[in-house]
Amino acid sequence: MPLSTIAFDADDTLWENEQIFHLTEQRFRELIASHTKIEDLGQSLLETERKNLRYYGYGIKGFTLSMIETAIEVTGGTIPARDIQEIIQAGREMRDHPASPFPHVERVLKSLTGDYRLLVITKGDLFDQERKIAQSRLGGYFDDVEIVSEKTAATYRRIFDQYGDGPGRSLMVGNSLKSDILPALEAGAYGVHIPHALTWAMEQAEEPLDHEKFHQLQSIQDLPDLIVALSS
């Protein structure tokens, strides 16, 4: 059965995202460093984020709350209110970064549109993901945009059944092995991994190298050729 549906992850697949979190974390560490003896603030923050995922989900709001909570914990409650204010401000400024598509993204979407149903499947804050899709000016290429709270095999099965012709005729493209590739393969779709230089510790996983539907590309510009090869 030929491919009919191509789905894309958004953050760090269509545009830069993780770098903004890294820069904000750096700002956070510099702000807190003089108030605490704990050296690995990045690890403390990551532990708080991991614990908070089930309360706040993915995205800027949860990240901001986790920075505040970490700051209170690692300073034993002595962090000055003005520094909390600065953390809140740093979180707000994350939204000011424009979502500019990576090179080749628009050309690739243009070449696929019409021949395939194109979807975005992304997780994160609804409000923030909608803003980025609007800013990127890529929205018009997609038949549907799904903003979900978690990417599991069931998520992919539901979306590919609802908007496509089932997982067997669908392909998922993304930078996260854990969220974009492994659950899409488990659902029965193709998984095309395009690594990004920065990947959040919680999105890392083993490459399923022996899976027949797993493919890895160095750049999104190679995607149309791969799709042609898989469709023939």
Q: Which of 6, 7, 8, 9 binds Mg ion (CB under 5 A)?
A: 9
Query: Does 128 help bind Mg ion (rule: CB under 5 A)?
Result: no
For the record, the structure tokens of 105 come out as 């993204």
Residue window 76-115: x/- pattern of binding to Mg ion, with contact defined by CB under 5 A: ----------------------------------------
Helix axes 60-74, 81-94, angle to 10 degrees: 160
Chain positions 153 to 182 lying near Mg ion, rule: CB under 5 A, are 175-176
Closer of 9 and 25 to Mg ion (Cβ): 9
* CA–CA separation, 228 and 232 (whole Å): 6
d(CA 138, CA 150): 23
Specify burial of residue 225 (Cβ count, 10 A radius: 0-12, 13-18, 19+): exposed
Q: Which is nearer to Mg ion, 8 or 160 (CB)?
A: 8
Name the residue nearer to Mg ion (CB basis): 74 or 223: 223
48 versus 176: smaller Cβ distance to Mg ion: 176
Candidate ranges 10-18, 42-50, 63-71, 76-84; the one touching Mg ion (CB under 5 A): 10-18
Strand partners for 103: none
> Is residue 146 at the binding interface for Mg ion, with CB under 5 A as the rule?
no
Instruction: Strand 144-148: give its sheet, edge to edge.
Output: 144-148, 117-123, 5-8, 170-174, 190-193, 214-216
Residues that bind Mg ion in the complex, under the rule CB under 5 A: 9, 11-12, 175-176
